[in-house]
């Protein structure tokens, strides 16, 4: 099993380039990403060190649905969600994706991959990586997928800084501190995911703003936080309407405290 780090959050939108402009308007540095030519999608990116938000949309729905035949894949999630705008999945970075695949199979999870993927940057360079999709019919909440980049982290970071992909944010010295998920039972979800990923959990806490009980899995680059409702509020409404999903990105280091709805997702600045 590799050493895990948070890699990126997938935010599905109708128009990634329009969304990039919206992010800039609210004080986030964002850039055009590129196209996944074989899979029918394209993206914009907003980086917080090596953790980032992938703002992804569709340029060819037929290609997306051809790719959606891979169970537990990201594109299958888009189809199942009827291309609804909002947060979709999280990706965890690993150093040994082959060992991860074996371990997840040994745990009884369904595994697809590792699969080679690529996209072309606006400057023409081809970026390559491998993905691993996992899942279980016993888990209502879609599990993370795993990514191993073909370039070393230090090389990628240096290139991203040189290209001003990683750069300062107008809103402040921001970190992507956590991603929040709606779940029916915090303790049960934490138990399942701890068993799968060998991550440590925080103590249970109450988020008064969300009127929810929360608990985090601690992950370098961005924690994964699960929320169950204590009563009426955002978490209960989303859980009733959409089931168990990622719904909120929390940022620390903001010059101003604010919660903004960005195309079906909550961006909360602390």
CATH number of the CATH domain containing 246:
3.10.180.10
Give residue 223's domain range.
172-269
pLDDT of residue 37: 78
Residues 15 and 146 in one domain: yes
CB 132 within 8 A of CB 114: yes
Flag residues of the chain having pLDDT under 70. 1-2, 68
Domain count, the chain: 2
Residues 12 and 33 in one domain: yes
pTM: 0.94
- CA pseudo-torsion sign 176, 146, 79, 40: positive
Residues 81 and 203 in one domain: no
pLDDT in tens, 174-205: 999 999 999 999 999 999 999 899 999 999 99
pLDDT in tens, 123-163: 778 889 999 999 998 778 999 999 999 999 999 999 999 99
From 99, 127, 162, the end of a domain falls on 162
Residues 16 and 139 in one domain: yes
CB 111 within 8 A of CB 134: yes
From 162, 185, 202, the end of a domain falls on 162
82 in a structural domain: yes
33 in a structural domain: yes
The first and second tokens of residue 179, run together, are 């991603």
Nearest to 222 by CA among 91, 131, 129, 95: 91
């Amino acid at each position: 099993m590799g050493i895990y780090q948070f890699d990126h959050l997938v935010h599905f939108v109708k128009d990634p380039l329009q969304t990039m402009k919206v992010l800039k308007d609210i004080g986030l540095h964002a850039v055009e990403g590129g196209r996944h030519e074989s899979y029918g999608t394209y993206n914009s990116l907003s980086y917080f060190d090596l953790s980032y938000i992938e703002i992804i949309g569709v340029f060819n729905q037929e290609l997306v649905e051809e790719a959606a035949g891979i169970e537990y894949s990201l594109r299958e999630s888009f189809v199942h969600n009827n291309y609804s705008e909002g947060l979709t999945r999280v990706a965890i970075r690993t150093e040994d994706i082959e060992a991860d695949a074996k371990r997840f199979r040994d745990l009884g999870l369904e595994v697809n991959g590792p699969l080679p993927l690529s996209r072309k940057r606006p400057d023409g360079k081809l970026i390559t990586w491998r993905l691993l999709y996992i899942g279980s019919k016993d888990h209502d909440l879609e599990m993370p997928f795993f990514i191993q980049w073909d370039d070393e982290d230090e090389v990628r970071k240096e290139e991203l800084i040189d290209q001003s992909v990683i750069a300062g944010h107008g809103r402040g010295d921001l970190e992507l501190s956590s991603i929040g998920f709606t779940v029916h039972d915090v303790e049960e979800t934490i138990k399942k995911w701890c068993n799968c990923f060998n991550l440590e959990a925080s103590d249970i806490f109450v988020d008064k703003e969300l009127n929810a009980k929360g608990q985090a899995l601690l992950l370098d680059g961005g924690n994964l936080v699960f929320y169950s409702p204590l009563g009426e509020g955002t978490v209960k409404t989303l859980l009733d309407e959409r089931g168990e999903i990622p719904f909120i990105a929390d940022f620390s280091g903001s010059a101003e405290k604010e919660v903004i709805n960005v195309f079906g997702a909550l961006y909360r600045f602390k």
